[in-house]
Amino acid sequence: MIVIVGALHRETSGITRSLGYSAAEGPEDFTVYTSKSNQNPPIILSGSGPERASRATTWAIDEFNAKAIVSIGFCGGSKEHQQSGDLIIATGVINLPGSPFEWTTSIKTDPIDANRSLSLAARTAVEIAGLDYHLGPMVTVSSLATTSGTKRWLGKVVGATATDTRSHAVATAATAKHIPWVSVSAVLDDMDVNAPRIIDRVDAGPKQRGVNIYIKHLLQYPKDFRTLRKLKVASELAKTSLTNFMPAFIKACSDLKVPNSSTAL
């Protein structure tokens, strides 16, 4: 069985609505969705951040006897010619812990390669669905890369195609249990966007924030209104891409018979 691990409701709400998912029992700090159709993988939403992603992946593997893990969600672009809604299929993941002030020092990045069979299924799905996509390393950071300068640096120096706060943690947990994995993310903020810090929800749960939080932020930082409005539109584009991707990916896995005995790490 394939199991999907995501972070936030807003990233997967299109998938759960369009494919007939309903809430199921699970750990109280996660959200779990299952579908009446056996073809649709369970979805576990961990909330944001590497620690939550790792715990959710381990729990999901044990609970559902997972044979493959798919990490999905939003990411930040770090290369030219990426737009909101473009999909990133990670060829591998790199861990970059600590703060940006520490990134210039020599740190162990723990690169992990994605499973080839699952990656092939993901590429087949985006081609079938007609979605724009990019291939390359996903860099997982401890807190969101919100400034244009940081994203450019990650792309140029570290080689990041995009950045998130979950994929390396998911991959590490899956690899520890000898489970193949792949990461597919939709670009929310492109490389040129300087995003307000309020969008960084690391260590927060999967449920959507209330509008009051944003109103309070805008009362203090009214100049952020235009960027937040742009990110709202970008969020819909990213969610739509993931929603269109998932049924095509499920079909591609079925057609390619992934996962199977040859999908091993």
pLDDT (tens place) for every residue of the chain, 265 residues total: 999 999 999 999 999 999 999 999 988 889 999 998 989 999 999 999 999 999 999 999 999 999 999 999 999 999 999 999 999 999 999 998 877 767 765 666 678 999 999 999 999 999 999 999 999 999 999 888 889 999 999 999 899 999 999 999 999 999 999 999 999 999 999 999 998 878 776 667 777 767 788 888 888 889 988 888 999 999 999 999 999 999 999 999 999 998 864 555 5
From CA 106, how far away is CA 252, in angstroms rounded?
40
Residue 136 is inside which H or E element, if any? strand 133-141
Q: In Å, how far are 7, 76, 257 from 262, measured between CA atoms?
A: 29, 32, 10
User: What is the CB neighbour count within 10 angstroms for residue 14?
Assistant: 18
From CA 42, how far away is CA 32, in angstroms rounded?
7
pLDDT for residue 215: 84
pLDDT for residue 218: 84
Q: In Å, how far are 2, 72, 97 from 165, measured between CA atoms?
A: 22, 11, 10
From CA 3, how far away is CA 8, in angstroms rounded?
16
For each of the domains in the chain, give its residue range(s) and CATH number, in order of start: 2-263 (3.40.50.1580)
Q: Look at the pTM and tell me if it is higher than 0.85.
A: yes
Helix (H/G/I), strand (E/B), else coil: 144? coil
Q: Which amino acid is at 257?
A: K
pLDDT for residue 104: 65
How far from chain centre, in Å, is Cα 139? 11
